[in-house]
Structure 1
Amino acid sequence: MKKLFIGIDFSKEKLDATIILACGMNEIGSREYGCFPNNTTGYRKLCNWVKTNAWNTIAEEWLFCGEDTGSCSIGLSKWLYGKGYDIWIENAYAIKHSSGIQRVKNDKADSAIIAEYAWRQQDKVVPFEPL
């Protein structure tokens, strides 16, 4: 079972990420937020940030999740896959309609919604595999 959920909001220039630590259906601790460049340097910084905020979990207990944004999401997805991390690239419609009405719309809030989606829907994970 996964314990650490990393929601990623992809854009051409940056990656906004939120970490949620959970045990079953209970959220533990405070959420962490970070912003990184959408390039190889940013991918490394993102992973180091996750390791720093992993609360004694191991990589096998982590789940990275993001919306399928085509070219914006493919680079990090392939990079994480190559490093052996679990990443779930989900249809944006499914994530949007799972969260109900949202009053705040920004990249930070979107990354939190994606992390919550990964946590609550983890039984539906379809792991990313490059073509």
Structure 2
Amino acid sequence: MNKFKHFLGIDVSKEYFDAVLILNGAKEKPIHNQFANDSKGVKTLNQWLKKQGATSQQTLVCLEHTGMYGKLIIRYLMGFNYSLWVEMSLKIIRSMGLQRGKNDKIDAERIAIYAMKNQQEAIIYKAPSRTVEKIRNLMSLREKLILTKASLIRNSKEMKSLDPEVSKLSDKFQKQTIKGITSDLKQIEKQLDLFIKEDE
């Protein structure tokens, strides 16, 4: 037996997100709206869903795994007690086959249809513990710092063969930055160890 009557597909971007609602499985009559990707926008989405009669108990919300851009939406909708399915985009694309046309509204509608067709396989999102969230954020920062450091070192090596004089100046100006990044990476490692030890 299917638990959900209504299906909401969300296509997320940095500034806004598109939402397409399928009420009572009527995929021929999708309802579209667009909201700002901020706390006010998600609250407005919740009010809009209530007006459409899509209660949190009967509505499955599906969105693609988009990292940073979807975090706010996930946090707020969980607070409003919606069931959330955060799915990998490749799975959605594969399930739909070759599709013509592409824009945010169409993508949101495809996600809603995917949720409706595959609700039996839905994996309801559970928020990670606060410690796991902290570790994820620190790991992301660590990765960015490693890439920045590698880029600076690579740039310095390339410059040596092109212009040795400018290379020396470049090394001089970058030396403190590379040293600072190396120090920051060590501090991040220590903090990661602390988080892990504090949380059994």
Query: TM > 0.5 between the two?
Result: yes
Q: Which runs of 4+ in 1 moved over 3 A?
A: none
Larger Rg: 2
Which stretch of the first structure deviates more once superposed, 58-67 or 31-40?
Answer: 58-67
Q: Which has the higher helix share?
A: 2
Unaligned runs of 5+ in 2: 129-200
CA contact (8 A) 1:21 1:29 kept: no
Match of residue 186 from structure 2: none
Matching residue within 84, 87, 91 for 1:87: 84
Alignment of 1:1-131 (within 5 A): 1-23=3-25, 27=26, 30-54=29-53, 57-131=54-128
How far did residue 105 of structure 1 move?
A: 0.4
Q: Which has the higher strand share?
A: 1
Aligned residue pair count: 126
How far did residue 3 of structure 1 move?
A: 0.6
Q: Distance in 2 between matches of 1:108 and 1:58?
A: 22
**Cα RMSD for the two superposed structures:** 1.4
Percent identity, aligned pairs only? 34
Q: Distance in 2 between matches of 1:48 and 1:82?
A: 14
Q: Normalising by structure 2, report the TM-score.
A: 0.60
SS at match of 1:105: coil
Unaligned runs of 5+ in 1: none
